[in-house]
Structure 1
Amino acid sequence: MKRRFPSVSELRPLMQFELPTLDRRAARLARAADVWDLRAIAKRRTPRPAFDYVDGAAQRELTVRRTREAFDAVELLPRILHGTEKVDLSTMIAGGSSSLPFGIAPTGFTRFMHAEGEDGGAAAAAAAGIPFSLSTMGTRSIEQVAVVSGGVADGARRWFQLYLWKDRQKSLDLLERAAASGYDTLLVTVDTPVAGQRLRDVRNGMVIPPKLTLKTVLDASYRPEWWFNFLTTDPLTFASLTNTSQDLPTLINSMFDPTLSIADLEWIRSVWGGKLFVKGILTAEDTRRALDAGADGLIVSNHGGRQLDRAPVSLQALPEVRAEAGDEVEIILDSGIMSGADVVAALCSGADFTLIGRAYLYGLMAGGREGVARVIELLAKEIEVTMQLIGAATVADLGPHLLRSRQA
C-alpha cells in the first residue's frame, strides 16, 4: 500500500472545529438524538421524587411496560417507489388546526418537574402551532397559561382538562373561566374516581412542596440548578384551584367521588359550549356511554398506566373503540408515545390525533421551554422521515394498510 502526505487543500474541509458555547442547556439538548436521551438528561438533573412521579406508574407498573411492548410490536410497512419529497404534517382536530398530529397532554404538578412548568410547555406548544392542554391540577392558572400561550402566537390552541369531581359549583367556575380565557376544547377525565396506587411516590414521600430532609438535601447536592430554581421562584400551588398544597392521594381523594356517574358527564355537556372529549375510554361499552352522554370525541387512554394497573393498553384498545364509535367520531390516542414512529403507529391504528405526556415532561425536566421545543422538534422529524419511508404524504394517507402487528 503506497502512502503519501495529504495536501492542505484536502485537510481544510475536514478541519471544522466548533467553538465552545457558554449556553450549556442548549448544548445538552442539541446532543439529544431522541426522547430517550432527554429522559436520561432529565433523570440526572431532577430530584428523584419529581422524576419518579413522571416516570413511574401504578402498583407493579405492568400497564406502562405492556404499553411500550405494544408499540414496539407494531411493524410499519415500507412502500417502494412512492415518492414523497414533501410531507404535510398538519391536521384538523376538535374543530381547529394543528401543525403536527400531536399535542401536549394535561399534566399535574408541572412546576414540580421544572420551575418553568406550564409556562414553558404552553409557550413551546404555541410556537410550534400545536394544542396545549392545561390540567385542573396545574401549577399555573387558567388565566396565566392563556397569557403565555397567547403572547407567543396569536390564535394558539388551548385545551382545558377537567376531572369529574364532587363540587359542581367549583367545576362550573373552572369551565366559565376556561371559556372566558379562550380554551376551545374540554377534556373530561373519567378514570380517576380515586387515586391510583403509585408506589414510587409512596416510597419517595412525594409531596408538594417537597420536604427538606437529610435525603433531599443530599439529593440537592448534585442537582443544584433544580433547587436554586425551586427556592427562588414563586411557591408551588394548584393555581386553578384554591392555592392549596397537599400530597397527591389526599388531594385527589378529597376532590373526587367514586359514586360519580354518567349523569355527571351529561351535566358537564349541558354547561360547556365548546368541543368536549372524554378521556379514559378503553372499551366499546364506555365508548357508547360517552357518546350517548354528548361527547364530541374520545381520548383512548389508560392514564399512562398510572391509575389501574393491568388496564388495557391504549393502542390495543383503539380498534375496538373505533369500531364502536364509527369513522365520523374524532379519536385521540394518549399513553405511551415516545417517538414519531409511535405517533405514526397510532394514526395508522385508527387515531385522528395523539397526545404526549411523559415525553413532554422529560423534555421539560431536561431543559425547560427549550427542552419541550426539542421534544417537539425530534418527534416532528421522526414523523416526517417515517412517513416518507412508508410512502405517506399527508396525515390523511395513514391507515391500517401501512402496518401490521407481530408478537412482542
Structure 2
Amino acid sequence: MVRRRLPRPSELRPLLRPAPITLDPTERRLARAASISDLRAIARRRTPRAVFDYADGSADSEITLRRAREAYRRIEFRPTVLTDVSSVDTSREVLGGRCALPFALAPVGFLRMMHTEGERASAAVAQAAGIPVSLSTMGTTTIEDVAAAAPTGRKWFQLYLWRDREPAKDLVARAAASGFDTLMLTVDTPVGGARLRDVRNGLAIPPALTLRTFLDGAMHPNWWFDLLTTEPLTFASLTTTGGTPAEMINRVFDPALTMADVEWLRGIWPGKLVVKGVQGVEDARRVVEAGADGVLLSNHGGRQLDRAPVPLELVQPVSEAVGDRAEVLVDTGIMHGGDVVAALALGARAAVVGRAYVYGLMAGGRRGVAKAVDILAAEVVRTLQLLGVTSVDSLRPHHVRLRG
C-alpha cells in the first residue's frame, strides 16, 4: 500500500523555482536550441522560404547530401574505458597554425542574405573561438571588412577562377595584404549545379520583391526590414551580378580549369594553398604534386554533381595516399561534433563546417553562429570523453568503424 500525505511548505519551496524571464527574443530562441537540428528548425521559421532553401538544399534530387549525412550515421565508435578523461585537448595544428577546435567555418556565399550580420558575424565568432573562418568569392562582405571584423583571427579565402585571370589575381593580392593565411581554390564548379529548390522558389540575387516574395515577406517582416534598412546586398568580389546563383557561376567562372592553374596559383600565393572539391584518390595525388599544401575532400555540400562520392568515405584512402605531403580536410554532411571526431579518427586533419553555422546565423545572427560553434565544441569534447580519448591528436582509425 502507498501511504499518502500532504507535502510541507518547506518541501515545496525548492521545487517552485520559475525559470528566469528572458526579455531578449533572440536569446530566448537560442536558449531553446540544444543541437544543430534545433537551430535549423529555428532558421526555417525565421527566414523566407527561398532563403532557407538556398542554404538548406542541394542539387537535383539531393541524393548526394542525404548520402553524406547517412555516412556519418553509419559511424560506429569503439570506446576505451577506465581512462582519465577529466581533461581533453581539442586543439591541433592545421595548415601552419594552432586551432583551438578541430574544425573551421566553411566559405558560404550570400551570407548577408541569410542575416544582415553575415560574414562579419562568422569572422568575429571564429576569432573568439580560436578557429579559422573562410570567406567566399561570392561573399557579401569585402576582404578588408572581414579582416577588420577579425583582426587577430585566422582567415582563409576561397577562390573561384574567372575566365579573365586578372580579377582573381587582384583578389589574391588583397587577401594576402589583409592577413589571410590560406587560399582555397574551388575546382568542382566548371558549371553551376541544378539547384532545383532555387529554381522553384524563383530565387534571384539580390532578392526581388515579386508578389510571391511579398506574400512570404509578410510572414517574415523582420528579415525584410533588415534587408531594406541596412547596406545594399551585393557581391563584394564580383562585378557581374544578377540572376540565379547557377546563372552567375556559368556567366563568370571558368569551366576550363586545369592543373596548370593550381601551379599558377602556387607561384603567386605566399601562404598555404588548399584545393577544394577533390573527390578521388588520384586527383588528390595530382594536386599535391602540383604544389597544394592541403586537399579539401568536398562535393560542394551536395550542391554540384548529384550522386557524387561521399567525402567521409574518401578520408582514409586519401590520407594514406598523400601521407605527410599534404593535410586532408573534409566537409559536407557534418551536423554534430561527433561527426568531426569521426572524420579526424579516419585521418582528416580538420573538418570544415558549413550549413551547421549558417543555420545558427539565420536563427540569431552573430549570437546564433556562436551558439552553433558552442554546440559543436561541447559535442566534440563529450564524444572524446566517452571514447576514452584525451586529445584529438590521439584519434586513430581503430576508434571508429563505418558500418555497411
User: Shared fold (TM-score greater than 0.5)?
Assistant: yes
For the residues of structure 1 that align with 2:239 and 2:255, how far apart are their CA atoms? 22
Picking from 307, 310, 334, the partner of 1:310 is: 307
* Aligned residue in 2 for 1:94: 95
Alignment deviations for residues 207-266 of structure 1 (CA, whole Å, 9 cap, x no partner): 111111221111111211111101111111111233744431221112222222111111
For the residues of structure 2 that align with 1:99 and 1:70, how far apart are their CA atoms? 26
For the residues of structure 1 that align with 2:117 and 2:172, how far apart are their CA atoms? 25
**1:190-205 mapped onto 2 (5 Å cutoff):** 190-205=187-202
* Aligned residue in 2 for 1:234: 231
Alignment deviations for residues 57-113 of structure 1 (CA, whole Å, 9 cap, x no partner): 111111001111111000011221112001111111010111111110000011111
* Aligned residue in 1 for 2:279: 282
**1:59-78 mapped onto 2 (5 Å cutoff):** 59-78=60-79
* Aligned residue in 1 for 2:249: 252
Specify the SS of the correspondent of 1:331: strand
Specify the SS of the correspondent of 1:39: helix
Picking from 156, 160, 163, the partner of 2:160 is: 163
Picking from 336, 358, 364, the partner of 1:367 is: 364
AA partner of residue 355 (structure 2): R
* Aligned residue in 2 for 1:395: 392
For the residues of structure 1 that align with 2:336 and 2:292, how far apart are their CA atoms? 29
AA partner of residue 135 (structure 1): S
* Aligned residue in 2 for 1:301: 298
For the residues of structure 1 that align with 2:240 and 2:26, how far apart are their CA atoms? 31
Specify the SS of the correspondent of 2:208: coil
* Aligned residue in 1 for 2:29: 28
For the residues of structure 2 that align with 1:389 and 1:210, how far apart are their CA atoms? 46
* Aligned residue in 2 for 1:15: 16
**1:201-240 mapped onto 2 (5 Å cutoff):** 201-240=198-237
Specify the SS of the correspondent of 2:150: helix
For the residues of structure 2 that align with 1:249 and 1:301, how far apart are their CA atoms? 18
Specify the SS of the correspondent of 2:309: coil
Cα 1:108–1:161 change in 2 (3 A) is same
AA partner of residue 252 (structure 1): I
CA contact (8 A) 1:237 1:245 kept: no
Q: What's the offset of the Cα at 1:159? A: 0.6
For the residues of structure 1 that align with 2:124 and 2:223, how far apart are their CA atoms? 20
CA contact (8 A) 2:328 2:350 kept: yes
Q: What's the offset of the Cα at 1:164? A: 2.8
For the residues of structure 1 that align with 2:285 and 2:380, how far apart are their CA atoms? 32
For the residues of structure 1 that align with 2:331 and 2:402, how far apart are their CA atoms? 19
For the residues of structure 2 that align with 1:353 and 1:90, how far apart are their CA atoms? 10
Alignment deviations for residues 121-141 of structure 1 (CA, whole Å, 9 cap, x no partner): 111111111111000000000
Q: What's the offset of the Cα at 1:328? A: 4.6
CA contact (8 A) 1:58 1:309 kept: yes
CA contact (8 A) 1:186 1:277 kept: yes
For the residues of structure 2 that align with 1:258 and 1:120, how far apart are their CA atoms? 32
Q: What's the offset of the Cα at 1:14? A: 1.6
**1:79-118 mapped onto 2 (5 Å cutoff):** 79-118=80-119
For the residues of structure 2 that align with 1:328 and 1:174, how far apart are their CA atoms? 27
CA contact (8 A) 2:357 2:372 kept: yes
Specify the SS of the correspondent of 1:33: coil
CA contact (8 A) 2:159 2:185 kept: yes
* Aligned residue in 2 for 1:173: 170
Specify the SS of the correspondent of 2:247: helix
For the residues of structure 2 that align with 1:4 and 1:327, how far apart are their CA atoms? 71
CA contact (8 A) 2:205 2:241 kept: no
Specify the SS of the correspondent of 1:174: helix
CA contact (8 A) 2:137 2:237 kept: yes
Identity over aligned pairs, percent: 57
Residue 273 (str. 1) matches residue 274 (str. 2): no
* Aligned residue in 1 for 2:41: 40
TM-score normalised by L of structure 2: 0.98
AA partner of residue 260 (structure 2): A
Shifted more, 61-70 versus 74-83: the winner is: 74-83
Off by >4 Å, runs of 4+ in structure 1: none
For the residues of structure 1 that align with 2:112 and 2:275, how far apart are their CA atoms? 25
